[in-house]
Amino acid sequence: MALTSGQQFATFIGFLINAIPASSRMFDKTAIKRRNFIAGIGSVPLLVNSRDVAMNKRISPEPLSNNESDLLRLGIIGFGARGEALVKTVTKELNIEWHGVSDVYNKRLETGVAIAGTNARGHQNYIDLLDREDIDAVIIATPDHWHAKMAIDAAQRGKHIYLEKCMTRTVDEAVALRDAIRQSGVVFQLGHQGRQRDLNHKAKELIGKGTIGQITLIETTTNRNDSPGGWSNGNEERASPETVDWGLFQGDSSGQSGFSRERYYNWRSYWDYGTGMSGDLFSNEYDAVNSILDLGIPSSAMASGGIYYHHDGREVPDVFQAAFEFPDRRFTLLYSGTLASGIPRGTLFMGRDATLELGRSLTVWADKDSLKYKGRIESAMMDPSTPFIRYDKEQIDVDAISSPTSKYHADRGLVETYSAGKRINTPYLHLAEWLRCIRNGGLTSCNVERGFEEAIVAHMATISFREERKVHWDVQNERII
């Protein structure tokens, strides 16, 4: 029989007391004061384990509802490493069939068709896939410079869309794609699976209750220190002008004429194809903060950085930082990232009364000068040097991971989350939510309006960096000035 939250808390406190030597418990007046404080803590959130906290009902390990019998026929556009991972994530238990695979590299196309199954047909040109009547929805996992064009083409053909981030490569593309989705009525989900993370939902709840007081500063980060994390993804010799449709890969955004294996594999390192650290990495962090605080778009941004370590011909910085101002909310958001250090750093929400840190776990420390907790601090019922709230996620497999990039994904909830003590794949939950909305209606958690906000914020930072100036968002005309 499951314990109630009160019983769980009592058991937890009993464990803490019994863990203290009897001699210490008899004479430690501070410990007695703290036990009295805990007994009367009232409205202050309690120290518990996140595995015992039920997740928001919207995020369910059982994603299909009354329309479970409705088969959905899917296509995948872009069968690189990310595309393959998504195909393997959307299992048949979600009642789907793969009917189409598209990729410009014939080796990846052949692999995709083999993995997708007997119903799948391959197309080098994605338009041929979108024109098929036996495909209901598509996942787009291509380089950024194709996102807007492919998604708009899909929307115009009535195909529901799951699109990897960054949503677009430019501001104009973001406006055009948002308008196309609005007009088409298709179900759109941007691939920020961190929105399915239990710790993010708990952070939203705690901040909403006023636990940390007025926030004035938020700091979020990205640290990576391996070749894939630094966007050096190899240079497979089989990719050649004969095996890759270079014109289709290039699209209209690039001035590069001849085939380049380096650009094909490491496209994130070049402005023609990618969105730099802002669109590729900061967008993850921003979307997490946006899901917690409903930020929208800042009034201004200023960014800096440079290529300080990876001197490999890349164009985008490997160290990047940006400041975003939200004067209406009375706080600043700071981002900093490096591709040459793997030290983990969480996201800090700094409030007048406490600071919440969100990383591999969630912790809250009272500020030593807090007015809200002043009496409890002075009576030694609360110690500012010790978290008074901590939600731990299991450490299974995390410390054993050798890749800093893998650790980064684990720390940010981009791999898994927890519900009722079970580990659940966050991409699975995010894709299942999209499929559920296709079947039953409703908005996805990272719909096109949220995606538009994320894209604009990323582009503000990129433009600020590239033009070496502070930029502002013109709300009425929807442009960066």
Cβ atoms of 52 and 427 closer than 8 Å: no
For 59, the 3-state DSSP assignment is coil
Q: What is the pTM of this model?
A: 0.83
Residues 6+ away with beta carbon under 8 Å from 316: 268, 269, 270, 271, 274, 276, 277, 307
Give how far the C-alpha of residue 255 lies from the chain's centroid of Cα atoms, to the nearest Å.
31
E runs forming strands in 278-408 = 300-306, 319-326, 331-338, 347-351, 354-358, 361-366, 389-392
pLDDT at 415: 62
Taking the CB of residue 281, how many other CB atoms lie within 10 A of it?
26
Beta-strand pair 188-190/160-163:
parallel
The single residue listed with the structure tokens 């518990």 is 48
**In angstroms, how far is the first alpha carbon of the chain from the final one?**
60
User: In this structure, what token pair is assigned to residue 46?
Assistant: 């309690």
Beta-strand pair 137-140/72-77:
parallel
pLDDT at 8: 39
pLDDT at 252: 84
Structural domain boundaries in the chain: 72-192, 195-233+269-418+448-480
Instruction: State the DSSP code for 256.
Output: -
Give whole-number Cα distances, 456 to 199, 222, 272, 300, 478, in Å. Answer: 26, 19, 18, 11, 9
Beta-strand pair 422-425/137-140:
unpaired
Q: What is the dihedral of CA 46, 48, 51, 55, to 10 degrees?
A: 0
DSSP code per residue over 170-228: SHHHHHHHHHHHHHH---EEES-GGGG-HHHHHHHHHHHTTTT-SEEEEEEEEE--STT
Cβ atoms of 292 and 200 closer than 8 Å: yes
b/e per residue, 191-224, with b = 16+ CB within 10 A? bbbbbbbbbbbbbeebbeeebbbebeebbbbbbb
pLDDT in tens, the chain (481 residues): 444 434 433 333 333 333 333 333 332 333 333 333 333 333 343 343 332 332 333 333 344 444 556 899 999 999 999 999 999 999 878 999 999 999 999 999 999 999 999 999 999 999 999 999 999 999 999 999 999 999 999 999 999 999 999 999 999 999 999 999 999 999 999 999 999 999 999 999 999 999 999 999 999 999 999 888 888 877 777 899 999 999 999 988 777 778 999 999 999 999 999 999 999 999 999 999 999 999 999 999 999 999 999 999 999 999 999 999 999 999 999 999 999 999 989 999 999 999 999 998 899 999 999 999 999 999 999 999 999 999 876 444 444 445 555 555 556 555 666 665 677 788 999 999 999 999 999 999 999 999 999 999 999 999 999 999 999 999 999 999 9
Residues 6+ away with beta carbon under 8 Å from 118: none
Q: What is 195-233+269-418+448-480's CATH topology?
A: Dihydrodipicolinate Reductase; domain 2 (3.30.360)
234: left (phi over 0), alpha (psi -120 to 50) or beta: left
Handedness of CA 271, 275, 278, 280 (dihedral sign): negative
User: In this structure, what token pair is assigned to residue 261?
Assistant: 């294996």
Of the candidates 50, 61, 59, 55, the residue with the CA atom closest to the CA atom of residue 8? 50
In CATH, which superfamily holds the domain spanning 72-192?
NAD(P)-binding Rossmann-like Domain (3.40.50.720)
